[in-house]
Structure 1
Amino acid sequence: MTGGRRAVAVSHLAPGLLTATVALYMALVAFGNITDFDTNRAFVQHVLAMDTTFKDPDLMWRAITSRPVQDAAYIAIIAWETAAAAVLVVATVLWALRRDRARRLTTLGLLMVLLLFGAGFLAIGGEWFAMWQSEDWNGLDAATRNVLLAGIALLVVQLSPTAAAQGNSSTT
């Protein structure tokens, strides 16, 4: 292997492995939510119902107590997790094949994860539905870990040199 090819292989190692890590994690999260539907369904129901918060009347108007709406929200979360996992699995394969498209697809998948856990869980769940007030149904720590993992992976992916810049023009 020549020096240029070795550099391309190494430059794909960190982003590829981080992409694979987040892909595996998201696939396991989605699989767990599908095969053990009721466990996290209860989490979503309690967060949306705001039934374990301080029950401040100025905030409780935000509560969603409709089971069909709660279930629809949970199914949407699972669908988003599954889609993010699928995008990241394909991106992992592209990293292994040393394709430039890997960066774009990884970026998409990681942004999906960041939107779910950052906007969905931290902002909407944590602030709008006051999840931070609940001792029993507070997922802010887990959401923060997920944002951190996806955010670090995104930084590594964006800062790693492209294969084309390293002398490999393979973009298929």
Structure 2
Amino acid sequence: MGITSVHRFSKALTSGFVGVFCLIVGYNNVVDFNTNYQFIVHVLSMDSMEPWFSGTQLFDRAISDHGLIIAAYWFIILSEILAGLVISLGVFFMFKGAKENKVTFIKGQGVFLLGATLAIFIWYFCFAVIGSEWFQMWASTENAQMKAYTFSAFILMVMIYVIIPSPKEWHDV
């Protein structure tokens, strides 16, 4: 196995870590539905703000309708699972094409990037933007802002790693 194949296997394996992460998070949210449901309730209803928070003019954003909260939570869970499945499909193609078939590997990269973009949508846009800023999660006792940034940063780093081509000199080894 040449160095280019090792590089491709490394990209496929690292991508697989992201897919497993998404699937485990989605699975955990189904199996232990109530734990993170309570988190979502507090963030969306804005009922757990720190005592020092004085942004009362923002409380009209709060969502207290439990039907809407459950729908939002199921949207998040299904998005996590879908991201994990799409990423896993991409990883399958990446592993399949890692040794010999560059076209299959590149197809896998594209599918991975699609799933990883959905994961960025979940953890960056839904949690870091909508949760942290629109619903002021940063000022709540239920603050997962740093986790959202951590997850997003790792996913983005893997996306960058996956699209970086192998050095040309490796193709001759």
TM interval, short-chain normalised: 0.7 to 0.9
State the number of aligned residues: 160
Q: Residue in 2 aligned with 1:144?
A: 149
- TM-superposed CA distance for 1:80, in Å, is 0.3
2:57 counterpart SS class = coil
Q: Residue in 2 aligned with 1:118?
A: 124
Bigger helix share: 2
Superposed, 1:21-170 pairs within 5 Å as: 21-53=17-49, 54=53, 56-98=55-97, 99=104, 100-135=106-141, 137-161=142-166
1:109-168 per-residue CA deviation (whole Å, 9 max, x = no partner) reads 111111111111000000000000012x11111111110110100000111349xxx59x
* Regions of 4+ moved over 4 Å: none
**Superposition TM-score, scaled by structure 2 size:** 0.87
**Superposition TM-score, scaled by structure 1 size:** 0.87
Q: Percent identity?
A: 27
Gapped regions of structure 1 (runs ≥ 5): 168-172
Letter in 1 for 2:153: L
Question: Aligned equivalents of 2:43 and 2:79: distance in 1?
Answer: 18
1:59 counterpart SS class = helix
- TM-superposed CA distance for 1:55, in Å, is 5.8
Range 43-52 or range 14-23, more displaced? 14-23
Question: Aligned equivalents of 1:68 and 1:146: distance in 2?
Answer: 28
Question: Aligned equivalents of 2:74 and 2:41: distance in 1?
Answer: 12
Gapped regions of structure 2 (runs ≥ 5): 98-103
Backbone CA RMSD of aligned residues: 1.8
